[in-house]
A and B are shown apart, each in its own frame.
Chain A
Amino acid sequence: MSTPEHPDFLWRTPEPKRHYDVVIVGGGGHGLATAHYLARNHGITNVAVLERGWLAGGNMARNTTLIRSNYLWDESAAIYEHSLKLWEGLEEDLDYPILFSQRGVLNLAHTEQDVRDSVRRVEANRLNGIDAEWLGPDEVAKICPIVNVSDGIRYPVQGATYQPRAGIAKHDYVAWGFARRADEAGIDIIQNCEVTDFVVDGDRVTSVRTSRGDIACGTVALCAAGHTSVLLDRLGVRTPLQSHPLQALVSELLEPVHPTIVMSNAVHVYVSQAHKGELVMGAGVDGYNGYGRRGAFHVIERQMAAAVELFPVFARAHLLRSWAGIVDVTPDASPVVGHTPYENVLVNAGWGTGGFKATPGIGWAFADTVAHGRPHPLVAPFALDRFVTGALVDEHGAAGVAH
């Protein structure tokens, strides 16, 4: 029931140097993973990770840690599956007990159209080499006996897609594992260092202006999630990114009752039981733009209604703590990764609710993009210019993307 101990040493607290080859803005999962793979795969270590608050204190500390790769479109499936494969070896790579637990995910279907969409996604996954099955209600109940598959609920469960390799991990451990590796490689992790502006020369950024002074840079890699567009505003770069509060919650510790992960887009609930025993649940995205790291309570209440509807045994579990992160979403619910109008500024944003599961995958591909100055094939489809050409990777309706 208890979790493994953290190592005796994690990372230094260095003073920022005057110049780095690469400045990563944002010390969350993506920034730290990018730092790690820059060192590990490309030998690039004159790197700073600048974090305005405490390390991995943004969405990395606030997400519900679901990991899966059963996305519909080839482009999405490719990056998330690459990520999932890395998750499968991450504990070893980081030498950190990240508690990656492949307990499978059920994505429930409640309507005839849900069923069609689910089968479509399962079949696409299989042709892309991703483990996926379509299960009827009885099979759903076998995998997760506490799901109410009776007809007695408002939108009865018609079946589910199942990805056995999906799982959860312990987010702090993941972030700290990446941070420790990056630090060991000589990369400077600098906390309480807010990037406030950029010093520009033509189409290059020469320095980032921070709350701890100017730092000259070769390449700037933006990994600031919900705050990315605020930073790009400083450069006059406009994006389709919109930042919204996304709430999550946990219960107290409970004896094991929920063996897998269950998601339902139609009834808006997703839930897993973490290692120590707490139920971890996500709510829907709050509708308005917001940077307040808090959402409205009616969203939580709706979430609870959905949870008790689908899992009657949760009735007397207790909401222990709720919180919110800031997710940056795009019109097609796919990320924005790659070049900006500034030659040496690369962006990685717009992951919406998919950021955590993508962490190692995007860290790998973004580091490669930074190292070579061209998009890694896995991120090439997610360039900003897709909104101009119309080549969207629309994970909205068809794929029922969520979390």
Chain B
Amino acid sequence: MTRVDGYGRIDRTRTLSFTFDGIVRTAHPGDTLASALLAQGVTTLGTSVRLGRPRGVLGSWTEDPCGLVQIEEPFPEPMLLATTVDVVDGLVARGVPGRGRLAEVADTARYDHRHLHCDVLVVGAGPAGLVAAREAARAGQDVVLVDDRPTPGGTLTGTEMIDGRPALEFVDAVAAELAAAPHVTHLQATTAFGHYDDGFVLALERCGEGSDPRQRVHRIRAGRVVVAAGAFERPIVFEDADRPGVMLASAARDLLHRHGVLAGRVVVVFTVDDSAYAAALDLHRAGAAVRVVDARAEAPAGWARRCADAGIVVEPGTDVRGTLGDDRVRAALVGEARREVPCDLLLVSGGWNPTAHLFSHVGGRLAFDDELVGFRPAGDLPGTAVVGAAHGTYALADVLREGAAATGSATDAPHAEPEEITPRGTLWRTPGDPARQFVDIARDATVADIARAVGAGMTSVEHVKRYTTIGTAHDQGKTSGILASGITAELLGRPVGALGTTTFRPPYTPVPFAALAGRDRGDLYDPVRTTPVHDRHVALGAEFEDVGQWKRARHYPRPGEDMAAAVLRECAAVRGAVGMMDGSTLGKIDVRGPDAGVLLDHLYTNLMSTLKVGRVRYGVMCGNDGMVFDDGTVLRLAEDRFLVTTTTGNAAHVLDWMEEWVQTEWPDLRVRLTSVTEQWSILAVAGPRSRDVIGRVFADVDVSNEAFGFMTWQDTELDGVPVRLARISFSGELAVEVTVASWYAADLWDRLLAAGEPWGITPYGTETMHVLRAEKGYPIIGQDTDGTVTPHDLGMAWAVSKKKTDFVGKRSFARPLNADPQRKHLVSLLPTDAATMLPEGSQIVDLPDDGLLPPPPVAMLGHVTSSYRSAELGRPFALALVRGGRDRVGEVVAVPVGDQLVAVEIGDTVLVDPEGARRDG
């Protein structure tokens, strides 16, 4: 056991049980998987990805490049760092060689999103962040403080003094003050992982395994962002420094003070930075034998004195060249002579890298600071301040002042004693065999690999990164990236500042997919829209189809019926007696104002302004490119008012389109547009007996053809509820569309159904509607068209005004290609065997003389857009777009279906009742 009494913030009164690599072990609340394993002397957690070398932990938090584990219980999660996994009872984990495993079953945990708005967001609850948050809170601002570790304090160990008391007491006091302050949200275990424009920061809160939600993404919109994210220590590259037992000095210190773990008994500290001396002294105090190797010519006087007082040997002016050991380091090789210095822990410090990711994410530039020996934020970004170690400020007194100044005044900063500062050394690596000098131990990439890259002609850090894979592992190069820049610069003979670093990109640390998905899954992935009559369809056993966000009843199978049978029955009912369909999903736009007619004349290909009140007209809309994009009927409700209907899936788009023209092109038009899709429900009653049904329900209405003609509408009432009746037919049969406020739609459905009982009124779905309209040659926009089809292609020249000087799309009709006789026309296809059902989407080719499909490429004439079995015709039929199709009526062409060529005859689009006699009953 390497647990030391009197250290750490773990709860030693409770013991947890977990399993690692098949062995059951114990831990205490507050332990990470790494601290618990190290406490029990387990230093090797896995093997490396490429070379199979043993891997332990280098860092003590998210910077660690190699302590990767796979969680198996309570639920499989791949590729977590042992240093960041909180031990919970029953945890089962194992070390992995750089590759994780996903669960085979769906994760049932919930994930959530939350929006936060604040004046100031402080990222990091170390000394700088705590003071920044405190000053902002004292100034009465809305404050959000997030910090990725379980408890606040950052790298403070408790040995420091702030305002004359131990630092952790100061931390507790500030946390208590923030907790008591109004308008402060303080979240620990919450990682700010992405910073976007205008103070938008995303943070992942780990609520705990088994919590609901398990994790929560906070979308924080902040007036100001204060980045106080600290810094990560950087290793120094030497031979075999990847061996377990080699650790960052700060990590050993962190393990001691957070978890009470002494990571080694015989310690060598190799440094070019003063900060490692604190680790040396701390570990010595905790009972380790410590020796310091400082590559600088002279050791810092104050630290050297304190070491001497403690009996720690300090060797300046030399370095560590390599290590000995098997699974764990057993000696450091010191100096050119590679003198063996026994140790079971080799701590390194090559200086620090400011954690400026959140500054970088929003375009902040980093510049190399020679004094700092690191890249630090350069220049200002509006709304973003970087303070403390993240800014390259490491002395505690200065850190506190920067924190206070970020949100208040530096004069209010808590006090800390000034520290002795001696110049840092610049040391990326010590002399040795480049092939054994690992730069990125997560990728097993060495100095030799960088040298090869440079030798191959690579001159950019981005190329070196890709050539060597350095910095591409799960840690995204938190410890290795700058080392790679430094070593590359040395090899190229260029200053590292001129070479730069690779770019920091979100996320700062990995985020589970499910956390980002949040609740937007299943039914909440996209809103489900149902009509007011939906329950009736369900009760009738309808099968539904998705049309846009809507659920539409597709057909109503009776017991034993498949869709084909149900649709044949429904079709026969409509053509033979009467049927009813819920058409409520049709888009409806109320167009109102003195210039309503002018607007519609601009947007429809035909004239709408001449429509008389009380009448209905069908219209087609095109884009500027002259291609059909929507159609529907238009009712003139009053001189200054029209009701426009659109296709179900396109309703929002048509409204947007109309608004765009009104607002941006013709703002002088006096017209207002309102979506009324959901206000009004439409029930279509169709079939030769529809007049009887309507007459029965609306006894006051004269439903005769003379009084209520085709393409007219009239208002009436039902028990005092306004109802609109319109003689509109999408089936070719006598039909009435009944419109009522959606509140009453289900009741109206019931009444119409009851009234139609004597004639066997049959609810029909969209599939039957499609068959019936196809028999009449009415196209469905989006099914029989694809964005390359003009009204003329559809045979709808009759719907294109020749009187209007202009309308949207008209000019494009005059392009030479629009007059090409080989354009694709909408036609019908009848399989000559009168039996084969052509799959929709099938291609059409010329019928070869030998009846055999030639080898590819085969010229295509067009494709089948709609295909159905017709009850009326007693055979399958199809609609198709065919090159020059209208000029080929009567010709036989071929459709490849599987391995067969099906002969089909091209025909006019109208296959049922070409005279149009049925629409009037």
Chain A positions near chain B (C-beta within 8 angstroms): 1-3, 6-13, 54-55, 57, 61, 74, 110-113, 115-124, 126-129, 152-155, 172, 191, 251-255, 257, 267, 276-277, 292, 294, 296-297, 300-302, 304-309, 312-323, 331, 388-392, 394, 396-398
Contacts and interface: CB of A to CB of B under 8 A. Distances in A.
A302 B513 CA distance: 10
A168 B480 CA distance: 29
A57 B462 contact: yes
Contacts of B514: 304, 308, 314-316
Nearest to A323: B505
B804 interface: no
Contact of B455 (A8, A172, A391, A394): A8
A114 to B, nearest CB: 10
A389 B50 CA distance: 57
Dominant SS among interface residues on chain B: loop
Interface stretch (B19-27, B565-573, B839-847): B839-847
Contacts of A317: 78, 102, 512-513
Given A304-B517, A308-B521, A398 B788 contact: yes
Nearest to B548: A111
B107 A297 contact: no
B817 interface: yes
Interface in B357-407: 363
A211 to B, nearest CB: 16
A320 B510 contact: yes
27 contacts: A7-B456, A9-B455, A111-B547, A113-B783, A120-B843, A124-B863, A128-B858, A129-B857, A252-B79, A252-B100, A252-B474, A253-B79, A253-B473, A255-B102, A297-B200, A300-B516, A308-B513, A308-B517, A314-B513, A315-B517, A316-B102, A316-B103, A317-B513, A318-B512, A319-B511, A396-B787, A397-B787
B78 A297 contact: no
A157 B505 CA distance: 34
A223 B507 CA distance: 31
Interface string B881-912: 00000000000000010000000000000000
B523 A154 contact: yes
Contact of B817 (A267, A389, A396): A389
Contacts of B843: 120, 123-124, 127
Residue picked from B76, B79, B522, most chain A C-beta under 10 Å: B79
Contacts of A292: 363
Nearest to A316: B77
A313 B107 CA distance: 7
B157 interface: no
B432 to A, nearest CB: 22
B661 interface: no
A342 to B, nearest CB: 26
Interface of B: 49-50, 75-79, 98-107, 109, 194, 196, 200, 202, 217, 363, 452-453, 455-460, 462-463, 466-467, 469, 473-474, 476, 505-507, 510-514, 516-518, 520-523, 525-526, 528, 545-547, 625-626, 782-783, 786-788, 812, 815-818, 839-843, 845, 855-858, 860, 863, 865, 896
A124 B462 contact: no
B860 A127 contact: yes
A322 B196 CA distance: 13
Contact of B525 (A13, A129, A276, A305): A305
A121 B841 CA distance: 8
Given A111-B545, A154-B526, A316-B76, A307 B517 contact: yes
A252 B517 contact: no
A6 B786 CA distance: 46
Given A127-B843, A127-B857, A9 B457 contact: yes
A306 B522 CA distance: 10
B468 to A, nearest CB: 9
Contacts of A118: 841
Given A118-B841, A123-B863, 10 more contacts: A6-B453, A12-B457, A127-B856, A292-B363, A297-B202, A297-B506, A314-B513, A315-B106, A316-B513, A389-B817
A305 B521 contact: yes
B518 A305 contact: yes
A388 B816 CA distance: 10
Residue picked from B49, B105, B452, B520, most chain A C-beta under 10 Å: B520
Closest CB pairs A-B (n = 4): A119-B841, A129-B856, A318-B510, A315-B107
